Structures are given as structure tokens and as C-alpha cells.
């Protein structure tokens, strides 16, 4: 994975996009796209101008790790059993978040993160006193099954811990997006009444200590 560090460089200097635009003559659109890592790359003239401006080498302008990650959410055979019961609601289910790590060799390593989805009859008032009541609680990995614990620990050791902070944030964002999409499409229509209320939220416990709030999207 390769991405530029312009957003980090700007933040470290305390600059704004407007200042970089004014000082370098580069368009705001170009700078904004680079800050958000949008687009297919950067022209050598632009890279040269920014390296001169920040006093860095091209190597300092990029973050790189020697692998690519891809994500896929797939059904779990246990999900049809409705084996999780919370608040007398038997609607909990499992699915798998599969993360594939490709280091450019012939084989691709796949890691299975088991995801449990718990729906509540009423909004969940968490003991931590979250301000927003939640309609669902999602937990990724960390189950008692040894296989899934081992895979999560192996992925952390071989990939996650080697990622710069920007790539770790990208990992969390990608996991959340795939979880929201799968829950919204596969589970939520059977559990929630979107005609009565379209503002359903869930709390998601992601791997390695990150917890996020996400909206369940009507499908």
C-alpha cells in the first residue's frame, strides 16, 4: 500500500490548504485531492514542488508497506441458527469479515474475523453512559473460538503493527464500511422498521481496541 503524507506534513507545519496553494501556486483542487489521497497519483512536477516547499525528499512524502489489503463480508453458517439471545431477542447473528493480505507473491493470506451482531428491542443504554441509544451492538473477533483469536493475533503481528498510523486508520475505516454495508443489507431489514424510524445507530467494537459509532443505512 502506498499513499502520500501531505495531510500529515501540512498538520505538522500548522499550515492550511490555502497557504500551501498561495505559497506553491498549485491549485486547491490538486492539494485537496492529495490531502485526501484521491486520484491515481501525483505528477513529478507537483511532487518536486512540494518536496522543495517542505524541505523533504520524495521518500519522506510517502508512506509505504509491502502489502495490499482487501476486505469482504460473507455469511456465517451459524447466522441462520439465531443462537445469540440478548434482552429476550433471538435476532443476533454472525458473519465473517475476511481480510486478504497480498504481498505481491503467488499466495494471498486470508484472515477471518468473526462478527457478532446483537439487536435490541429498545435502544441500548450502555453502562459507559453513551449519549446516543443504540439499536445494535457489533463485536469483531475476540470470541472464545481459538481459531479466530489466533488469526486476529497473527494479523496484528504480521500486518497491523507494521502499518503507519494513516494506514491503521484506513484499516478501521474499511472494516467499518464493510460491516455497516453487510448489517444494513443482510440483517437490519428483518430487525428494524425503517418506515417508522430511519435513524438507527450501532456501536461497533473493532479489533485492537477501537470502538466507533455508525449509522445503519436503510436498504
**CB-CB neighbours of 6 under 10 Å:** 22
pTM of the complete model: 0.81
Domain chopping of the chain, boundaries: 2-64, 68-216
Q: How far is CA 200 from CA 41, 85, 140, 187, 214, in A?
A: 37, 20, 19, 13, 9
Asked if pLDDT for residue 139 goes beyond 50, the answer is: yes
Residue 82: the pLDDT is 44
pLDDT classification of 7: cutoffs 50, 70, 90 = very high
pLDDT per position as a tens digit, 113-137: 989 888 775 545 554 555 556 778 8
The grid cell for 144 is: 472464545
Q: Do 211 and 205 touch, CB atoms closer than 8 A? A: yes
Region class of 9: left (phi > 0), else alpha (psi between -120 and 50), else beta: alpha
pLDDT at 150: 83
Q: In this structure, what C-alpha cell is assigned to residue 209?
A: 481496541
> Domain 2-64 carries which CATH code?
1.10.260.40
Answer for the pair 98, 71: CB distance below 8 angstroms, yes or no: yes
> What confidence tier does 213 reach under pLDDT thresholds 50, 70, 90?
very high
Beta strand 200-205 with 134-140: parallel, antiparallel or unpaired?
parallel
Q: What is the DSSP string of 173-196?
A: HHHHHHHHHHIIIIIHHHH--TTT
- pLDDT of amino acid 132: 53
Amino acid at each position: 500500500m502506498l499513499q502520500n503524507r501531505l495531510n500529515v506534513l501540512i498538520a505538522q507545519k500548522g499550515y492550511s490548504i490555502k497557504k500551501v496553494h498561495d505559497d506553491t501556486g498549485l491549485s486547491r483542487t490538486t492539494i485537496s485531492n492529495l490531502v485526501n489521497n484521491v486520484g491515481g497519483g501525483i505528477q513529478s512536477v507537483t511532487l518536486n514542488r512540494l518536496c522543495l516547499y517542505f524541505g523533504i525528499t520524495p521518500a519522506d512524502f510517502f508512506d509505504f508497506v509491502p502489502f495490499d489489503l482487501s476486505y469482504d463480508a460473507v455469511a456465517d453458517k451459524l447466522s441462520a441458527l439465531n443462537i445469540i439471545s440478548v434482552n429476550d431477542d433471538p435476532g443476533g447473528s454472525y458473519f465473517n469479515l475476511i481480510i486478504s493480505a497480498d504481498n505481491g507473491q503467488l499466495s494471498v493470506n486470508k484472515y477471518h474475523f468473526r462478527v457478532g451482531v446483537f439487536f435490541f428491542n429498545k435502544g441500548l443504554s450502555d453502562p459507559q453512559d453513551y449519549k446516543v441509544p443504540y439499536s445494535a451492538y457489533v463485536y469483531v473477533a475476540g470470541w472464545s473460538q481459538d481459531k479466530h483469536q489466533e488469526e486476529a493475533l497473527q494479523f496484528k503481528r504480521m500486518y497491523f503493527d507494521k502499518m503507519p498510523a494513516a494506514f491503521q486508520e484506513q484499516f478501521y475505516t474499511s472494516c467499518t464500511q464493510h460491516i455497516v454495508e453487510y448489517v444494513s443489507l443482510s440483517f437490519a431489514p428483518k430487525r428494524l422498521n425503517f418506515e417508522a424510524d430511519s435513524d438507527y445507530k450501532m456501536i461497533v467494537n473493532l479489533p485492537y481496541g477501537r470502538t466507533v459509532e455508525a449509522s445503519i443505512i436503510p436498504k
